[in-house]
Amino acid sequence: QVQLEESGGGLVQPGGSLRLSCTASGNIFNVVAMGWYRQAPGNQRELVGTVARGGLVRYADSVKGRFTISRKDAENTAYLQMNSLELADTAVYYCYANVYVNTGGPPRVGDYWGQGTQVTVSS
């Protein structure tokens, strides 16, 4: 069982910045990748960005150049630095992790999600 605890959301004006944090804990064998997805009202959940253990990073085109994702593997923690925020960035941001979980046998891989943190960009 894996739990993802995320924080850092809030209300910010257009052009402002926020930093999200997410820490994975539980019966973890290995965290393969971490990142964030987001979901705005009436929309489907969409990729924001992810970072793999080897450092490979991917971003949605809509945030590329404005958002930066990083990771501290030893702490199973990821960070999302959001700069130049726009109204369209308003959403619930969900931490994501692809994790190998200890099972008593061979580790089992699965996807896990945080509870979400609200990011609101408004003037």
Provide the pLDDT for residue 30: 93
Tens-place pLDDT, residues 30-48: 999 999 999 999 999 999 9
Q: In this model, does residue 117 exceed pLDDT 90?
A: yes
Could you tell me which residue, 49 or 104, shows the higher pLDDT? 49
One-character DSSP codes across the chain = -EEEEEE--EEE-TT--EEEEEEEEESEEEEEEEEEEEE-TTS--EEEEEEETT--EEE-TTTTTTEEEEEEGGGTEEEEEE-S--GGG-EEEEEEEEEEE--SSS-EEEEEE---EEEEE--
Provide the pLDDT for residue 110: 96
Tens-place pLDDT, residues 73-105: 788 999 999 999 999 999 999 999 999 999 989
Q: How confident is the model at residue 53 (pLDDT cuts 50, 70, 90)?
A: confident
